[in-house]
Structure 1
């Protein structure tokens, strides 16, 4: 099996939530620790955090240009063949879905699920680093600096996913989504 490093994207501003999403808790565990543990249990040799959190192995995203610059920082620090990326705000993601992605043989520079940007498994290669550098160049307008553009240019393979798993890919970005998430994951919904 390929050696894989995990990366939790936790460097965003959480502006829609109004507080740092990574530090929100479900059953006494922060979303940051939940995401880290999921990547570890799925088989990642080490897990890096895109963001600045005391006591964690962090990669600092100096660009602060959204997920692409967090991924670029993660690839720069990655010392294994592959990088498995998971945003901190995907509390419904399962170990099984992450492991399936890790074990899937793919063509191109990475693999994700269809109709979902994350989780994303990338090869730690020069092609991915070059595409990210081009998309993050200062002359590129913000509206062209997207995960969708990266997927298109890097030829990311997309795995189909059964509709029964669609909820696993939901993010919690607002207080309302967070409230519903807590009800569902605490079993009181």
Structure 2
């Protein structure tokens, strides 16, 4: 069980069209990327939920997670085919009231230092606590469901646009953390570069 009294959410329901293969299943150090993230977040948070998009994807991810899969919750999109916003909506809808730490499945790095800094603001009564310009590696409160649902119904699926609609706190990146924390593995070139860095 994790150190902190909060749950976490991994958004993993996308099509991975630029990568050409499911990003969540990319091998990193011999394990699928999703497995690595679930392992890291299980050490930090009480429960990990994976936003899977569809029930078919849930079955694939359960298999990929093996022994970890039994400890994980899964959330299926209620607004299918609408990008990360629908995964965020599904994940938050599956949680009790409070904050949830949100990651994307193509972000291989988790920083406990930044997590702790975000958590230091979790009594702020805002919808989201994040680093400027970064919608992920952030805390979202379940009260953010209202503006998220409004954006989905209006057809505005931009995450950075959503951040501007919500009450938020922008946290400065701690000095000892480099900006590659927010690396996304979107393309084969991104994956190759990350893998070669070791």
Q: 1:163 to 1:3 in 2, by over 3 A?
A: closer
Q: Match of 1:179, SS?
A: helix
Q: Deviations over 1:109-162 (max 9, x none)?
A: 12011132211201122xx1111111001xx24xx3211121111122111124
Give the number of aligned pairs.
Answer: 178
Say yes or no: does 1:77 pair with 2:82. no
Q: Structure 1 residue 53: deviation in Å?
A: 2.7
Distance 1:35 1:158 in 2: 24
Where does the alignment leave 5 or more consecutive residues of structure 1 unmatched? none
Say yes or no: does 1:30 pair with 2:43. no
RMSD: 2.0
Quote the residue 2:193 is aligned against: 180
Q: Structure 1 residue 93: deviation in Å?
A: 3.0
Q: Given that residues 36 and 47 in structure 1 are in contact (C-alpha distance below 8 angstroms), is that contact kept between their aligned partners in structure 2?
A: yes
Say yes or no: does 1:109 pair with 2:127. yes
Where does the alignment leave 5 or more consecutive residues of structure 2 unmatched? 63-68
Distance 1:64 1:99 in 2: 33
Q: Structure 1 residue 96: deviation in Å?
A: 2.3
Distance 2:116 2:58 in 1: 26
TM-score by length of 1: 0.86
TM-score by length of 2: 0.82
The structure with more strand, counted as a fraction of residues? 2
Say yes or no: does 1:95 pair with 2:112. yes
Q: Match of 1:7, SS?
A: strand
Q: 1:2 to 1:93 in 2, by over 3 A?
A: closer
Distance 1:14 1:149 in 2: 22
Q: Match of 1:39, SS?
A: helix
